Structure 1
C-alpha cells in the first residue's frame, strides 16, 4: 500500500481563494474609480480592500538634452614637454525624476508622532490627495544639472622617463544624481534618488552626489639607466606607477526616524536604503570630515548642531557636507631579460604593488542622526584599482602584491 500528497492551487470558484479576492478587489476598484466612487464605497463593495500603490508616467516625457561647451589651450615646452588647459561646461535639462510622494500627507496622527508644532509638516497636505491610492510614484523629465570644470595637464618625455600629471577643479550640481534611476553610494550612505520634498523639486538643487571638487592624477614609466656593472643584473629594470588624490564626496545629514513615520502616510521612496528626510541643522555649513572621524571619540559631526525634522524637510541645503579625501598610489617593478637565440624577445618578471603605502581609505561618516554612530566613520572603502577588480566583493583596502611574468616579442 502507498500514498502520496498532491498539492495545487485552489479552484477560483472556491471561496477565499487569493486569486479570486485579488480579482474582486481589482474589479471593484476599477468600477468604483471609473464611477467616481470614494474609498468608503469601494471598501463597502469589497471588505478588507486596501488602497493600492500605483506607478505612472507624466503626460509628456522628453528625452534628456545636454548642452556642452569647452575651450582648450595647448603650449609646447620644448620638444618633449607640453602643457594644456581645458575648460568644460555642461548643462542638462529634461532629466529623469522619480517622485514617489505625490500622494503623501501628514495628518494630526502623523504630526503627533513627529512632534510637529506648526500644524503642518512642510508643504505636505493633511489628507491624501486621493485616498483611494496609497503610494503614487510618477516618472517625469523635469530635472536639470550643471557642471563646470577646469583641467590642467602636463606631459613630459626624456630618454628614460615618461610622465603625465593632471589636475582638475570642478563643480557639479543637480537635483537628482546618476540619472534618477540608479544610486550612487559607497558603504555607509547611499545617495537618495528622489527629491526630499515631493512637492518642491527645486529645493533639492545642490552639489551632485559625485561632486569631486578637486582631483589629481599622476602616471609615470622610468627605464632605469644602466651604464656600469653587469647588464644581466643591473640592466633592463623598469619602474612604473600611478598616484591619484581627490577631495571627499558630499552627503546630506538625514533623520531615519522621521522617514520611518512618513512612510506610513504615503511618503514613498524608490530605494529603502536611502533615507530621504534631511535633519534640521543649526551650525556652519560646508564642513569637511577627515580620517580622524574614524575614532568614535572624535566624530566630525556634532549631534548638538542637529535636531530631528519635526516641522518640515530640514534646514540644510542638499549635500553641503563632505566626506574624507582619498589618496592612493600603486607601483610596479619589472626586470627584463633578453631571450637567447630569439632576436628582440624579452622575458620579464616583476611585482605590482596596489596601495603600496598600505594607507587606509575612509568612507563618509554615518549621516543618520538617529544612529548611535552618527558623525563617525565606520567603514573603509576599497581602491578602484586592485587584483580583485571593482565588483567581486573582496576587500581591496590593504596593500596587495601580485607577481607577474611576461614575454615580449
Structure 2
C-alpha cells in the first residue's frame, strides 16, 4: 500500500498507541477525584501539560487540550468574538482557510459580527498589505492559517503577528494544524495569541489536539460544566489521549530535526516526475510546505482517478477531507484564480516522513497508466 493522504490523517506512531493503552489501563481515574487514584491521574495530566508546553515553547498554563483542530479553531474564534464583542465585532480571515475557520466565522455573522474574507494572490498567499488595510477600529481578531491544507502554501503569519503586536486590542489566531512538525513556528515574540494543533495530523490519535492560549487572553468557553482546564474547557480530561498527543508531539519534533531535508527531497522528486507527464498541471508553487503537492488533470474527474488508484492500493485525495465529499470544485484553487478545468480536477498528494522514494516512483508510473487507461475508455 502507498498512502499519500497524510494531510487528511496519519498512521499513529506505535509508541503513541502503546502510551494510550498503558494510560487507559493504569491511570483511568478521574483527574478531578480527590482520592489517591484520581490524584495520580491529575499528576500525570500536569506532567503531560508541562511536556507539551516545553515542546511548544510556551508556559504550562497556556496549553489547553482539545479534541482536535476543529474544536481548537472554534474555541479560538468564537471564544475571542464572544468575550470581546463589547470592544468590536469585526474579524479578519482569508478565503482559503479550513472549513472549521470559515464556518465558525460564518456562524458569527449570524450573530451580528462582520467578517472580512481576504483574497490571496496567484500563488495562494495572502498579502501582508491586505491584512493591514482591512483592519478597522472594530477589529478584534485576525485568524490566518500557517500552512494551507490543500495547496501547501505558507502564509506570512510571523510578519502579520509582529504587526499586530503593536495593536494589543486585536488578537491573532493561527491554525497550525498542517504546519506543526513540518514548518517551524515560534510562539515567542511573533504576536501569536492563539494557535491550534491536531494530534491525528502528526501520527497521533483522532480526537486529540491542543490550543495555545497566550497568558492574559480572555476567551468565552464553548463548554461549561466542571471548570476543568482553567475554566476554558469543561469536561473530564481525556488523559490517555492527552498523553498520547504529547508522545506524538515529541516524536514528530525529533523527526523534523533528524529528517529536516527528507520531505523536501521527496517533494522535489515527486514534482520532477509529475512535470514530465504532459497532461498534469502542478498547482503548488515551489518552496512551500514540503509535504503537500496539489495537481490538476484537466478533463478527468478526481474521484474517478482516486478510485482507480485505490484499486492499486494507492491512496491520495481531492482536497480537505472535511469537504472532499462535497462539490468537485476546490474553493481554495478558485480563490487563487485557477481556471475552471483545474479547480474541478484537483488532486492532493500529501507525504509523511515514512514515505519513500520508491513509492514516489511507483505512484508516478501508476498515475500515468491510470490516466492513459481512462483516456482509452473515454474514447
Instruction: Quickly name the TM-score band, shorter chain normalised.
Output: under 0.3
Task: Tell me the TM-score normalized by structure 1.
Answer: 0.23
Which has the larger share of helix?
2
- CA radius of gyration, larger in: 1
Q: Which has the higher contact order (CA 8 A, sep 6+)?
A: 2
